[in-house]
Amino acid sequence: MNQNIINNYKSNILVVDDTPANLRLLVGILTEKGYKVRPVPNGELALSAAKGIPPDLILLDIMMPGIDGYQVCTQLKADETTKDIPVIFISAISDVVDKVKGFAVGGVDYITKPFHIEEVLARVETHLSICYLQRSLKTKNDELSQALQQLKNTQNHLIQSEKMVALGQLIAGVAHELNTPLGAIRSSIGNITDFLHKNLAQLPQFFQNLSPQRQADFFNLLQTSLDNTQTNSLSSKEKRQLKRALQQQISDLEIANSDSVANILVSLGVGEDIQPFFPLLTDPNLETILKTTYQLFSLQKSAQTIATATDRAAKVVFALRSYARYDYSGEKVEANIIDGIETVLTLYHNQCKQGVEVIRNYGELPAIQCYPDELNQVWINLIHNSLQAMDNQGTITINTRQNQENILVSFTDTGKGIPPEIIQKIFAPFFTTKPTGEGSGLGLDIVRRIIEKHQGKIEVESIPGKTTFTVSLPIQINKESNHV
């Protein structure tokens, strides 16, 4: 997983060691793996190199003439430019006190000489990946924070208008849509960090204790778990049935703790055919092997959760940017009507995802010259009214099509409908059927004015259980109109 994260970026590593042979060896193995490596022989040069061109990671010897590794790390962590660079100590000193001191001054890991090449590469790759994930998370958090601030600023600008009624509802929904992926990312990063903190040092010894055949069995089980998406989607009843079938097979092999072993196999997504894993299941170290397999499986699942959450957050951020990129400069721009509707639906996803089905019947439409920010307010008001009319339970059907020189956009909901005696009044300013204090009656009046500004028209048809608002907009606006 780690290599996949950083394979498109050649990380810059600073290697500090006063022994030329060690320096050459480390430079050689890291360069061979595609890293950009800068070797320096002492602490003074290390500080200068790190501040001049900050590396992605530092491998730092401790016992050096002049400034030793502890002092170098202390100074790096005290400098704003270099404080976040991960430092891995690599030293012949193996006393626990010295290792603790290394972590105390800011080191993220400690490798004892003589070192194993595989261990060095594994630890370097792991900490580069952690660093990459942290930077990526910070970037996403900054974008989400900016998007939230942008939305709050918009709220302040519209606070005295009827538009604020719908936008006020939007803010709560969008905040929830942003907080949900942020919570998933935070939880998954915590799981990954906790696993690495508790288990990273034991992994090399774990693999050394496995025979080549058992290593192959281990990786086969892990890969089967990662690939088997069908088993992971089973219902609770199906999982119980699978567990009983597995437990019977495990008991037939006279394996102890058949219940817990079956539980883990089901959690890993292993199907009913476990014959390929019989040699592994009869291994004396089965408990440790299964535990490690499940931990690595969970690590991968956490990474997948982060990917899914960032995709969702990015979609919401994109919708916010699309919604906010148009201003009130008074100039028409070319825009796609369907893109505007989708932007609004993304912002209303939290209100629609439970109890509301949105059916999209989009016909192909040409781009038109318009005021996109104001049309987005039309879609917001119409969707918001539909949700209220249905008490957030029902179906909204959106149809778009081209009719000669016009485009038609209709919103149909399954709400209670509009009584015939008031349907001709709903576009009048200050007319509302809501209780006092819940609406000013300007929402549909604003909608009508925006559409008229575009030289279009809006019509409504309603019976109980079916209300349709249809907006007609000309593809070409022949002359300028005044603002709403």
Q: What is the DSSP letter of 202?
A: G
Which residues, 6 or more positions from 48, have their beta carbon under 8 angstroms from its beta carbon?
none
Name the least confident of 7-16, 396-405, 416-425. 7-16
Give the separation between CA 42 and CA 17, rounded to whole angstroms: 6
CATH superfamily, domain at 2-115:
Response regulator (3.40.50.2300)
Burial of 208 from C-beta contacts in 10 A (0-12 / 13-18 / 19+): exposed
CATH architecture of 329-474: 2-Layer Sandwich (3.30)
* pLDDT classification of 307: cutoffs 50, 70, 90: confident
Name the least confident of 49-53, 177-181, 210-214, 355-359. 177-181
Rounded to the nearest integer, the mean pLDDT of the chain is 82
Structure confidence by residue, pLDDT tens digits, 100-139: 999 999 999 999 888 888 988 998 999 988 888 888 888 8
Q: What are the start-end ranges of the H helices in 79-116?
A: 96-104
**pLDDT, position 402:** 92
Give the separation between CA 102 and CA 68, rounded to whole angstroms: 11
* pLDDT classification of 158: cutoffs 50, 70, 90: very low
Give percent of the chain with pLDDT exceeding 90.
31
Residue 444 pLDDT > 60: yes
Place of tokens 């991968």: 300
The segment with the largest mean pLDDT, out of 54-68, 216-230, 305-319, is 54-68
Give the separation between CA 263 and CA 244, rounded to whole angstroms: 9
Structure confidence by residue, pLDDT tens digits, 185-219: 888 888 888 888 887 888 888 888 888 888 887 88
Place of tokens 């292993």: 270
Give the separation between CA 200 and CA 126, rounded to whole angstroms: 9
Is the N-terminal amide bond of 114 cis, ω within 30° of 0? yes
Question: What are the domain boundaries of the chain?
Answer: 2-115, 140-325, 329-474
Which residues, 6 or more positions from 386, have their beta carbon under 8 angstroms from its beta carbon?
396, 411, 413, 415, 467
* pLDDT classification of 176: cutoffs 50, 70, 90: low
Give percent of the chain with pLDDT exceeding 70.
84
Which residues, 6 or more positions from 84, have their beta carbon under 8 angstroms from its beta carbon?
none
Residue predicted with more confidence, 255 or 385 = 385
Q: Are 375 and 452 in contact (CB under 8 A)?
A: no
**pLDDT, position 271:** 73
What residue type is assigned to position 49 of the chain?
A: A
| Distance, C-alpha 422 to centroid of its chain | 47
Give the separation between CA 235 and CA 231, rounded to whole angstroms: 9
